[in-house]
A and B are shown apart, each in its own frame.
Chain A
């Protein structure tokens, strides 16, 4: 099977790159390891900062895909070979796919919160991750404690697995801060009588309308933000969670109990990204994410002609930026295809 471009990864970046390439006349194959395309966005309920349903964005992306794009799901790549300007991607239990260019869009994985052992995820019954909470919202379930009760207090811990030398991740995952603010508001929307506390180091409200959302969280919803890193959690006899932290604005140690604790998990490079990087001989940075040719001027190109990078495999990014990056990648691919004739 011969196509012009092979896009690997069917998340929002991969879908957008495939659509943009197809729109501009390339014949595209999209390879996805899962049974479905949509990546992480498919697992999210609503998006910051506007609370728009995530499936609206995904629907738009999927509708943008022309029927000419060949989508291969459950595609496990076993090897990639390059001969001149031609790439051959070998797939387990399937025919190999060939093309003149490859776009890697294998994204990220969420940090495994169990690695922050002191927070007790996977041990204490009332400790969840932001992804667990999003699944609760998406499935229309109620936020309840392990005993089925409405929580009176919910704590949200920021920077779990990000900006944390102890777990080897010094980088910021960018979108967790605003996700935490969004989820805090969403909790208040469904549980107005519940007190919500966010424990943060910094609130990095870097993008448009983020700061406004943070203000809204405090002014309209009465959410408490405490500047302090949670040092440890323990389970009380009633399975509520005892938190120890420091309120660094008042300079006092703080010990409090919450009924449910949410851990805002950050990004880590995906296993698939590392695997493909190894197959292709691509470089990764200190943070484990892939390095492009030049982070300012050639951020979609790699040292290998015909291999392009897009989306969160280069580091944490938002959906908005992933879409923009994917379109930029498509343009770079077109320039390359034209150059090789």
Chain B
């Protein structure tokens, strides 16, 4: 592997990421999948980076899942996205930051469509006006939330309390990075590092002290793939995709997996449990799985946030082995206590995958 070859590509795929004043649009599903991530993103931007970030409660789905599942027409999706732009315009913002990768992909696709076919944009403007009376400006800058964390990765590192170093061995932790397909596979120039050797997550891992593993099935689908999972009959294909990745990465002994998509961490985390139940296979050390993190969770860990405030207790694969390697203190007894101190319930212990 020649790292200089990758560096050359990384230089080619850079993009403008707004530095402040973000209109933030949440994901439909992330608050259920990994409930602490979006909250942590807002906390980091406001408290650590001192940025202006605003979200509007009237924001709705962008319809991306429906669009990519062929149940929502592009025309409808465009009008719904135009409404989000109208909310942004009404709030006085020009920089849009999306939490969801599919939203980012859909917004990008729509903006590119309008760029090449201005008559489509005009038509959508009329649709929105007729339906809601609203008007809008297109964003000056569209960034995914992981772009923003990437942009400020140095600042997070400098303000952070921890590094991605095994505090016992002193060696860098080894990470698998996995970007969402809709981040840069549709429009490689819109993603940091492009589509083939994406750098957005690698940049964070490297800056925070870890090293990235390049394993053969690095580019393979996480297993979500919309129709693979949304259509129940295809779910065998979904889990087969995830298993292919785990089998491929296992020899490299990753300490954790880092993702920037709503679906990827969900499936890479939950399917480890399902595979262990089906096959008796576990992919981490000593019967544990490989912890799967969102970039907000990882940034929060670097900044020394309480792991349970980050929502790490809702992961199917326990993160404690990773916390122990980094040397992050945690109170095991409060893992399943809510903010009000009440017990929030605990998953039943799997048959094979070690759970704490």
Interface residues of A (CB under 8 A from B): 114, 117-118, 120-125, 232, 234-237, 239, 242
Smallest beta-carbon distance B329→chain A, Å: 35
Which residues of chain B from 1 to 30 have a CB within 8 Å of any chain A CB? 1-2, 5-6, 8-9
Least distance between B170 CB and chain A CB atoms (Å)? 24
Name the residue of chain B whose CB is nearest to the CB of A123.
B5
Question: Which chain B residue lies CB-closest to A231?
Answer: B219
| Smallest Cβ-Cβ distance to B195: which chain A residue | A117
Contact residues of B between 161 and 198, Cβ < 8 Å to A: 194-197
CA distance A237 to B215 in the complex (A): 7
Whether B330 sits at the interface, judged by CB under 8 Å, is no
B216 and A235 contacting across the interface, CB-CB below 8 Å: yes
| Given A117-B196, A118-B196, A234-B217, 12 further pairs, Cβ under 8 A | A114-B5, A114-B8, A114-B9, A123-B1, A123-B9, A124-B2, A234-B215, A234-B216, A234-B218, A234-B219, A236-B216, A239-B1
Contact B2 A122 (CB under 8 A): yes
Whether the Cβ atoms of B2 and A125 lie closer than 8 Å is yes
Q: 5 closest Cβ contacts across the A-B interface? A: A123-B5, A122-B5, A117-B196, A234-B216, A242-B216
A-B contact pairs, 17 of them (CB 8 A): A114-B8, A114-B9, A117-B195, A117-B197, A122-B2, A122-B5, A122-B8, A123-B6, A124-B2, A125-B2, A232-B196, A232-B219, A234-B216, A234-B217, A234-B218, A237-B251, A242-B216
By secondary structure, the A interface counts as loop
Q: Which residues of B contact A235 (CB under 8 A)?
A: 1, 214, 216
Q: Complex Cα distance A123/B10, Å?
A: 12
B343 near A: Cβ within 8 Å? no
| Contact of B196 with A125 in the complex, beta carbons under 8 Å | no
CA distance A54 to B9 in the complex (A): 35
**Which residues does chain A contribute within 8 Å of B215, judged by CB atoms?**
234, 237
Identify the closest chain B residue to A234 (Cβ): B216
User: How many whole Å from A41's CB to the nearest CB in chain B?
Assistant: 29
Nearest to B12 among chain A residues (CB) is A117
A276 CA / B93 CA spacing, docked (Å): 49
Tell me the B201-260 residues at the A interface (CB within 8 Å).
214-219, 251-252
A125-B194 in contact given A232-B219, A234-B219, A242-B216 (Cβ < 8 Å): no
**Bound form: Cα–Cα A239–B215 in Å:** 10
Smallest beta-carbon distance B304→chain A, Å: 35
Least distance between B287 CB and chain A CB atoms (Å): 23
Residues of B within 8 A of A120 (CB): 5
In whole angstroms, how far apart are the Cα atoms of A120 and B216 in the complex?
12
Q: B6 to chain A: which residues have CB within 8 Å? A: 123
- Which residues of chain B come closer than 8 Å to A117, judged between CB atoms? 9, 194-197
- Measured in the bound complex, the distance between the Cα atoms of B2 and A276 in whole Å is 36
Query: B240 to chain A: closest CB distance in Å?
Result: 13
| B8 neighbours in A (Cβ, 8 Å) | 114, 122
Question: Do B219 and A123 touch across chains, with their CB atoms under 8 A apart?
Answer: no
Q: Which residue of B lies closest to A236 (CB)?
A: B216
The answer to whether A125 and B9 touch across the interface, beta carbons within 8 angstroms, is no
Given contacts A114-B8, A117-B9, whether A123 and B216 have CB atoms under 8 Å apart is no
**Measured between alpha carbons, how far is A236 from B215 in the docked complex, in Å?**
7
Q: In chain A, what residue has the closest Cβ to B219?
A: A232
Contact present for B216 and A124 (CB under 8 Å)? no
Residue of A114, A123, A125, A232 with highest tally of chain B CB at under 10 A: A123
Min distance, Cβ B325 to any Cβ of chain A, angstroms: 22
Instruction: Report the nearest B residue to A233, measured CB to CB.
Output: B216
Let me know if A123 and B218 touch, CB within 8 A: no
Which residues on the B side are within 8 Å of A236 (C-beta)?
Answer: 216
A242 to B195, CA, bound (A): 18
Contacts A114-B8, A117-B9, A117-B197 given; indicate if A123 touches B2 (C-beta within 8 A).
yes
A123 to B197, CA, bound (A): 10
